[in-house]
Amino acid sequence: MNVPTDLKYAKSDEWIRVEGEVATIGISDYAQDALSDIVYVDLPQVGASYTAGQPFGSVESVKAQSDVYLPVGGTVTAVNEALGQTPELVNSDPFGAGWLVKIQLTDAAPLADLMDAAAYTAFCAGRAH
């Protein structure tokens, strides 16, 4: 299982890459593997705002459907349009081409509650699959 060290992770399996006032969010390798082949990604409108912990979209496979939650407060500045045609990018490259949204941070405080790579790896090891 791939867990890049430069990212932070939520218990609901989202990752976040923060670069100053902006951030990119996606779902982890553990999550894409659990869902298996993803067939559809429901993304928000650009400009939509969410508080930390609010659902901003969902990811769907043949067997399951999961909401995705924003780990921080933010406003959506871009969504990954490529996922409309090729949702399987979330499976093949969850940390790169399979990103979900980019946001402008409005509330970065919840970053402190997120896990680093080591903590997330330990968290996943303790879960029933």
Partner 1 sequence: MLEPLIYDLSRPGRQGVTLPACDVPPTPLPDGLARTTLDLPEVDQLTVVRHFTRLSQLNMGIDTHMYPLGSCTMKYNPRVNETAARLPGLAAAHPLQDPETVQGSLALMFALQEWLADIGGFAGVSLQPAAGAQGELTGVLMMRAYHLDRGDTQRTKMLIPNSAHGTNPATANMAGLDVVEIPSDPRGNVDLAALKALCDDTIVGLMITNPNTLGLFEEHVEEVVAAVHACGGLVYGDGANMNAIVGKVRPGDLGFDVLHYNLHKTFSTPHGGGGPGSGPVGVSARLTDFLPGPLVARVQDQGETQPPHFSLVTPPKSIGRMKAFWGNFGVLVRAYAYIRANGPDGLRGNSEYAVLNANYLRAKLEDVYKLPYDRVCKHEFVVEGVWADAPGVHALDIAKRLVDYGFHAPTNYFPLIVHEALMIEPTETETRETLDTFVDALRKIAEEAHTQPQLLKDAPHTAPLSRLDEIAAAKQLVLCCRPAALS
Partner 2 sequence: MAYYPHTPQERDDMLAAIGAADIETLFADIPARLRNPQLNLPPALSEMETLADLRELAEDNQHAGRSALFLGAGAYNHYTPQIVDALIQRGEFLTAYTPYQPEVSQGTLQAVFEWQSMVCALTGMDVANASHYDGATALAEAVIMGNEHFRGARRKVVLSPTLHPHARGVVHTYTQGLGLSIVGEDLPPDVAPPDLADLVDDQTMLLAVAYPNFLGQIDDLQGLADRVHARGALLVVMADPLALGLLTPPAALGADIVCGEGQSLGLPLSFGGPYLGFFATRKSLVRKMAGRVVGETHDRQGRRGFVLTLATREQHIRRERASSNICTNQGLMALAATIYLSTLGKHGLRQVAELCWHKSHYAAHLIGALPGFRVVAQRPFLKEFVVACPRPVAEVNDFLLYQRNIIGGYDLGQDYPALKNHMLLCVTETNTRAQIDDLVGALSELS
Report the residue from 22, 42, 49, 97 that binds partner 2 according to the rule CB under 8 A. 42
Determine the size of the site formed for partner 1 (CB under 8 A).
6
> In this chain, which of 44, 57, 74, 87 binds partner 1, going by CB under 8 A?
87
Closest to partner 2 by CB, 5 or 129: 129
State which of residues 6, 21, 33, 37 lies at the interface with partner 1 (CB under 8 A).
Answer: 37
- Closest CB to partner 2 among residues 63, 129: 63
88 binds partner 2 (CB under 8 A): no
Are 58 and 68 spatial neighbours (Cβ–Cβ below 8 Å)? yes
Asked if 40 touches partner 1 (CB under 8 A), the answer is: yes
